[in-house]
Chain A
Amino acid sequence: MGQPAASPAIAALRERIARLEGGPARDRATLPFGVPTMDKALPGGGLALGALHEVAGGRNGAIDGAAAALFAAGIAARTKGKVLWCVTRQDLFAPALAQAGLLPGRVVYVEAGDEASVLACFEEGLRHGGLGAVVAELARLSMTASRRLQLAAETSGAVGIAIRRWRRQTEATDFGQPTAAVTRWRVSALPSRPLPVPGVGRARWQLELIRVRAGESADFEVEACDDKGRLALFSGLADRPPKARHGPVRAIG
């Protein structure tokens, strides 16, 4: 448990509850984001491995799911092993995922054709055990389906990420329905920080942690995934240079 226990009695009670909730009462492995404020808000100090997580985009992102896909790619990039990515219809552009650290050799895509098959492939992937992460793009996710997925993820230890995408903005209210997912995120684009020269800076996201089991929801404003899939907090510096590309440069003067 991530939070410091108030007293040994409460810690013991928590352990009992965890045992009742199913599975062995062991400490779940987590995948830290590397951003202290985010990791602090998540029980265990990071995104739980062997669990189902839901991600959706805000505003337009509810339909195109672009930011959600990159957020998921960043998480998947930091896991070990291959990644299975299930979609109904393919519109991902793999070079962008590679820029978020998810190299093409690691991702196997499944173009399942319909939602039912996506769910079946998602579950099959989560159950397998040899994968680092399984990502699926879904419009509907019922309580029953999500519970199956959560149980499948618990058996294997892979991260399951359901990217929720809808055909219309109005259908996005479905995101409020309860599911068995451990965390629920909404990723919306923020205007990037103005640069001193014309151009577009590193993308920035508003990450809303809408729901987290055994934790409290929170909002973060972060800079989008870099080429290793890592997020970063806003630096206070307006003109910080991007990471050095060709090694350190030194000026003599």
Chain B
Amino acid sequence: MGQSAPSAETPIVMLGRQGNRRLVLAADAGARAAGLRIGMPASKAQVLVPNLQSFDLDAAGDADALDRMALWSLRYAPIVAADPPDGLIIDTTGADHLHGGEETMLDGLVSRMAASGITARAAVADTWGAAHACARFLSRPTFVSPVGQVTAIVRELPIAALRLPNDIVEGLLTLGFERVGEVEAAPRASLTLRFGPELGRRLDQAMGRRSEPFEPVRSAELIEVRRAFGEPIGAAETIARYAGKLVEALCEALEAKGLGARRLDLLFHRVDNRIEAIRAGTAVPVRDIKRLTRLLTDRIETVDPGFGIELMTLTATLAEPFGARQIISSLVEEPEPDITDLIDTLANRIGEQRLYRFAPVESDVPERSVRRVAPTAPDDGTSWPGEWPRPPRLLTHPEPIETMALLPDHPPVWFSWRGTRRRVARADGPERVYGEWWQRDAELIAVRDYFQVEDESGDRFWIYRAGDGEDPETGSHKWFLHGVFA
């Protein structure tokens, strides 16, 4: 809206026509705090809140935006659908490990949305109904329910969490029901007689007693190949064979467009209307039939064919131009073997961010001198300065040790670490590391003095004293063990 956008404090509602009445169809946090509710007549809302800003609800535009968002969230999992009016549904089965686990994935999702100005709430649960309820009715913005325990959580939620029409919710409230658990405990027959079958259906869907398939969104311009089976298939070998055939067809389609696949989604439509999926990503655009087939068939055992699969679709959800590359043609220089296929295989198995290389950072503070880069990142050939001894094992958190040492710049005479007291036979140091004042103010005068010490049996350790040994402002003068040498 640009300049004409109302300030954040102004209460905003969206109005729309239902039958011949103008109603409040959506309200922001400010408006809800002022006592406005969804479903309230527009005139009443305007009387209650004098400075109310109201806009007409553009239902079609909202639905379009939601669809676009669903397409965007295909980056998280292959099976995604819009859940109108205000939600997205993502089937994360078999995809969360690629994003570092369910909690990391949710946090990433919510913070990415926040970066583009959308306040999102997310929940992972065993069923669509339960996840829908948890995302909207729990106080935490992200929530991952423990497997199999979600029913207990849903029972504690208000009945509005059940995705029921407003009149049923109000009817139940009139009867004195407040929480889902209470409705569930009441006899089903009389409730069905009064409210129709919808109540029982929604309840069963939330509790996972009734399946709830949904049609995943697909963008029209994606390259997709599909194969329908007259007789449902179920054996792993059969699935693998047809996966190979689909990859062949897809690679032909990719070749025609000069593209290579970066991400593949293989969807299995089961006869019982559930959809299973395999997602495979690659580090560079790939059009190699064997390699792509390998990535997909590597994870066939995670697919549960149920009573059989009647349709398989393979989509290149992310495709990039296949760049030309120079091949080394000189006589002596041997081409470096390509290991991107190995990286893809491993990344699809354990997750992309658990595969990395270390690269140097110009910092004297040991724990800041390394950073992780992608395994396929270009190698600039730099390394760390090799003048100072560095231990092959570095403790994540330096451990405090007891020592006896002469101040200011002598190594300890002995120290005790993890219950073992060691006499220092030889020592080298100090190597003074200054704090990095540009990182934090507290590091302005902070100092660490590192020593390499060797005990009588030859074991070597990397220890440091916080502070320069004279001025207490530079550090606490306590000793720590930071690494183990060979």
Q: Interface on A for B, CB 8 Å cutoff?
A: 59-61, 64-71, 73, 81-82, 84, 91-100, 103-113, 117, 120-121, 124-125, 128-131, 187-192, 194-195, 198-201, 203-205, 224, 227
Contacts and interface: CB of A to CB of B under 8 A. Distances in A.
A112 B354 contact: yes
B346 A64 contact: no
Contact of B390 (A59, A95, A198): A95
A197 to B, nearest CB: 10
B460 A200 contact: yes
Nearest to B426: A200
Contacts of A68: 486
A60 B358 contact: no
Given A64-B484, A84-B342, A92 B336 contact: no
Contacts of B380: 105
B427 interface: yes
B396 A99 contact: no
A108 B343 contact: yes
B485 A128 contact: no
Majority SS at the chain B contact face? mixed
Contacts of A92: 392-394
A130 B337 contact: yes
B458 A109 contact: no
A162 to B, nearest CB: 17
B355 to A, nearest CB: 6
B395 A125 contact: no
Contact of B392 (A69, A192, A198): A69
A110 B393 contact: no
4 smallest beta-carbon distances between A and B, as pairs: A130-B337, A105-B379, A67-B486, A94-B358
B375 A108 contact: yes
Contact of A64 (B337, B381, B393): B393
A98 B354 contact: no
A227 B388 CA distance: 12
Contacts of B41: none
B486 A205 contact: yes
B375 A66 contact: no
B384 A95 contact: yes
B355 A108 contact: yes
Given A129-B337, A187-B486, 11 more contacts: A61-B486, A66-B392, A105-B380, A108-B343, A108-B355, A111-B356, A112-B354, A121-B349, A125-B342, A192-B454, A199-B428
Contacts of B460: 189, 200, 203
B352 to A, nearest CB: 11
B204 to A, nearest CB: 36
A82 B339 contact: yes
A113 B350 contact: yes
B486 A59 contact: no
A192 to B, nearest CB: 6
B457 interface: yes
B interface bracket (residues with beta carbon within 8 Å of A): 35 or more
B342 A128 contact: yes
B346 A99 contact: no
A33 to B, nearest CB: 16
A108 B485 CA distance: 22
Given A91-B394, A96-B392, A66 B486 contact: yes
Contact of A69 (B356, B427, B457, B486): B486
24 contacts: A60-B459, A66-B393, A69-B392, A91-B393, A94-B370, A94-B384, A96-B390, A99-B389, A105-B357, A105-B380, A106-B379, A108-B339, A108-B343, A113-B350, A124-B345, A124-B346, A130-B342, A189-B458, A191-B454, A192-B454, A195-B426, A200-B452, A200-B453, A205-B486
Given A66-B484, A109-B355, A191-B458, A95 B339 contact: no
Contacts of B386: 98-99, 227
A124 B346 CA distance: 8
Contacts of B216: none
Nearest to A225: B486
A90 to B, nearest CB: 9
A64 B399 CA distance: 14
A91 B396 contact: yes
A204 B393 CA distance: 17
Contacts of B356: 108-109, 111
Contacts of A107: 357-358
Q: Which of A112, A131, A194 is packed against the most chain B CB atoms within 10 Å? A: A112
Q: Which of B345, B389, B395, B459 is packed against the most chain A CB atoms within 10 Å? A: B459
A100 B386 CA distance: 10
B206 to A, nearest CB: 33
Interface string B347-379: 001100011111110000010011000010001
A12 B368 CA distance: 59
A200 B454 contact: yes
A199 B452 CA distance: 9
B459 A59 contact: yes
B210 to A, nearest CB: 35
Contact of A104 (B345, B360, B426, B457): B360
Contact of B358 (A69, A104, A131, A203): A104
Contacts of A200: 389, 426-428, 452-454, 460
Interface string B307-338: 00000000000000000000000000000111
